[in-house]
Amino acid sequence: MRVAINGFGRIGRSFYRALLEDQDSDIEVVVINSTSPPRTLAHLLKYDSTYGTLPLDVSWDSEGIACEGKKIPCLSEMNPAKIDWGGFKADAVLESTGQLLQREKLETFISKGARTVLISSPSEEADVTLIPGCNLETYDPNHHKIISMASCTTNCLAPSLKVLDDNFRVTHGFATTVHSYTSDQRLLDGSHEDLRRARAAGQSLIPARTGASQTIGKILPHLKGKITCSAIRAPTAAVSLVDLVVQCEKVLSTNEVNSAYEDAAAESLKGILAVSHEPLVSVDYKKNSHSAVIDALSTGTNGGMVRILAWYDNEWAYSKRLIDTFQRIGRSDLTP
């Protein structure tokens, strides 16, 4: 499958790095559009403060970058509607700027030659929101041209919640993500429309907004409006944590809950969800490819109330799920 990347920031680069490590993938990146020049793109791809130095040869020239001799043309077009994506024979575009969420703008990718757009953000105007492990099998190539893969947090929360709901029937609950800071925050105090995000990201725990409450209803419709979500930004560069508390229809023990997760990790959610019985901390989960890793030592119950902690590398695991979704889209038996 031939994929174009629009936006080569944290997610765009992590996606490409993950592709380079995936020997089984048939996804080929054919063009990158970014506001930065090739020199900067090559440097940031090679040297990453979170994931280390890429152990591959990376070079650049005025027309693009090359990795292990494989050249990728790079554009710097502020208006992606002006790009002839079909001219690059792109089957799909990864929209990873986080800025193009309106349908009118997203449709220009299709009108300019791509068959599908996959958005690495929540979008109210996408044809469908897909999350691997929850509803990826509902993909319909005849009707789903503009696809949202929600957020990294929803990709952790949804499968974690689904296991509890499938086994014990969830009635309602709360979810809080303790989330690593992102580029939308300020390094030092400075202007921002969100006055909390205006504060120095590395010095405080910062309450923030999250749209996960609305997105969960698209993935698990019967729980729409029943899970209230909040976020706290933490002074770490990667790896986040979902603290999920729900009320279930039956009285439960900690062992029952952990066993349900272990069964899912071994079967229906293998590769998506994992369970850890080790006393680990966030840095230990850096570059973990699972959407959610249940911290079994932190699972608690009180009657029908259940509390779990789920770790996730908010960049790397999400990038791996983008690959999963592109592979699903590109399956020849699903091509319209």
Sign for the pseudo-dihedral over CA of 114, 120, 126, 128: positive
Q: Beta-carbon neighbour count of residue 225 at 10 Å?
A: 10
What is the DSSP secondary-structure string of 229-283? EEEEEES-SS-EEEEEEEEESS---HHHHHHHHHHHHHTTTTTTEEEE-S---GG
Smallest CA-to-CA distance from 215 within 303, 330, 101 is with 101
Q: Beta-carbon neighbour count of residue 82 at 10 Å?
A: 11
Reduced to 3 states (helix: H, G, I; strand: E, B; else coil), residue 113 is coil
Q: What is the CA radius of gyration of the chain?
A: 20
Among residues 67, 74, 134, 152, the one annotated as catalytic is: 152
Which residues on adjacent β-strands are paired with residue 174?
228, 245
Query: Apex CA 68: angle with CA 64 and CA 72, to 5°?
Result: 25
Tell me, yes or no, if 152 is annotated catalytic: yes
Residues acting as catalytic residues:
152
